[in-house]
């Protein structure tokens, strides 16, 4: 039986990148898909592409960091399809820069999207997800497993998602809800993807990708199907995570050494 047939899935940041690839994979499997992003043109283009797959789709322009928008997109999903089964908290922004150089506005913007966005979206969706005994999944990063230099606020927000997921799991699993976290490694990106620099300017990512979007999307979909609570995408991430649990100091030394010597392995973390 097709697990996703007729299920209603809301994907934040579903207009491009990992979010859109996941939306496509779910649409192909018969899910009804709701995508949300701030940029209207790209979002509507993506809606058309999903409709070409014969999927039932709703696209809602909105900012996950705004409580009213979170309520609006959840209401749009439920009004159109009558239910909500899965929320994929994917929308996120990346930043680079040493903490001492970060403009306060950059810190606030990253925290607002990556953390408050997940909190608002999940809070707005919870009553409907409980009604379907559904799922909420957070798209985190290897940077959410342990701290990394030059990515402090990003790491802080992604690590906070683990705490949020762990608490939600304890509160909501008895009510039948599944909570999962995906720790992504560096993934193929669309040409439009930008990273926020310390001064707030936008830069193009400059590192090689270790996964294609299609591969990541297929792993996320499999995780949803199996209602797994954790997915760590890279081998280095898994080893790092195990080592960090045994000895955080050891991982700190390894990260600092890799950074100092410009080792390629350092680039695999975030
Ligand atoms: N790509 C990687 O290598 C990598 C590695 C680890 C973790 N991740 C995580 O994976 C997720 C997806 O990454 P990606 O590379 O696919 O990103 P991306 O290509 O930059 O796409 C981000 C998506 O989120 C939307 N978005 C951003 N801010 C938003 C906001 N405030 N409200 C609503 N939508 C918003 C964007 O559309 P608009 O800009 O139009 O709103 C876009 O649809 C993120 O959470 C990221 O942190 C990615």
Ligand 1 binding pocket, CB closer than 6 Å: 12-13, 15-19, 36-39, 42, 63-65, 90-94, 113, 117, 139, 141, 184, 186-187, 189-190, 193
| Tokens matching residue 54 | 């014969």
* Structural domain includes residue 132: yes
* Structural domain includes residue 234: yes
Model confidence at 161: pLDDT above 80: yes
Q: How many C-beta atoms surround the C-beta of residue 66 within 10 A?
A: 15
Model pLDDT for residues 239-257, shown as the tens digit of each residue = 989 999 899 899 888 888 8
3-state helix/strand/coil string of 35-61: EEECCHHHHHHHHHHHHCCCCCEEEEE
CB-based burial label for 41 (10 Å; 0-12, 13-18, 19+): exposed
Test site for ligand 1: of 10, 11, 14, 18, most ligand atoms within 8 A of the Cβ: 18
Instruction: Collect all residues with Cβ–Cβ distance below 8 Å to 111 and sequence separation of at least 6.
Output: 153, 156, 157
pTM flag (> 0.85): yes
* Structural domain includes residue 2: no
* Structural domain includes residue 3: no
* Structural domain includes residue 1: no
Model pLDDT for residues 95-107, shown as the tens digit of each residue = 999 999 999 999 9
Which CATH number belongs to the domain containing residue 86 in this structure? 3.40.50.720
* Structural domain includes residue 151: yes
Question: Hey, which residues are catalytic here?
Answer: 154
The predicted structure's pLDDT at residue 236: 83
Please, what is the average pLDDT of the chain? 94
Strands 94-95 and 178-184: unpaired
Structural domain count of the chain: 1
Segments forming the whole domain that contains residue 107: 8-267
């Amino acid at each position: 039986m097709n697990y996703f047939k007729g299920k209603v899935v809301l994907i934040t940041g579903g207009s491009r990148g990992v979010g859109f690839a996941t939306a496509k994979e779910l649409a192909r499997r018969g899910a009804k898909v709701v995508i949300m992003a701030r940029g209207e043109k790209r979002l509507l283009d993506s809606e058309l592409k999903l409709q070409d797959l014969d999927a039932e789709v709703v696209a809602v322009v909105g900012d996950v960091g705004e409580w009213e928008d979170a309520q609006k997109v959840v209401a749009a999903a439920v009004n159109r399809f009558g239910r909500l089964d899965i929320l994929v908290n994917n929308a996120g922004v990346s930043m680079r820069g040493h903490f001492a150089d970060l403009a306060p506005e950059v810190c606030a913007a990253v925290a607002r999207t990556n953390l408050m966005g997940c909190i608002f979206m999940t809070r707005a969706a919870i009553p409907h997800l409980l009604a379907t005994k559904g799922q909420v999944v957070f798209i985190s990063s290897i940077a959410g497993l342990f701290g990394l230099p030059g990515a402090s606020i990003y790491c802080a927000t992604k690590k906070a998602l683990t705490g949020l997921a762990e608490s939600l799991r304890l509160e909501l699993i008895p009510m039948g809800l599944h909570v999962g976290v995906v720790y992504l490694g560096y993934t193929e990106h669309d040409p439009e993807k930008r990273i926020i620099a310390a001064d707030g300017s936008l830069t193009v990512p400059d590192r090689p990708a270790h996964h294609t979007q299609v591969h990541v999307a297929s792993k996320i979909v499999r995780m949803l199907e199996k209602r797994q609570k954790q997915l760590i995408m890279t081998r280095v991430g898994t080893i790092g995570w195990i080592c960090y649990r045994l000895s955080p100091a050891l991982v700190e030394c390894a990260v600092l050494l890799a950074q100092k010597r410009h080792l390629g392995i350092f680039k695999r973390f975030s």
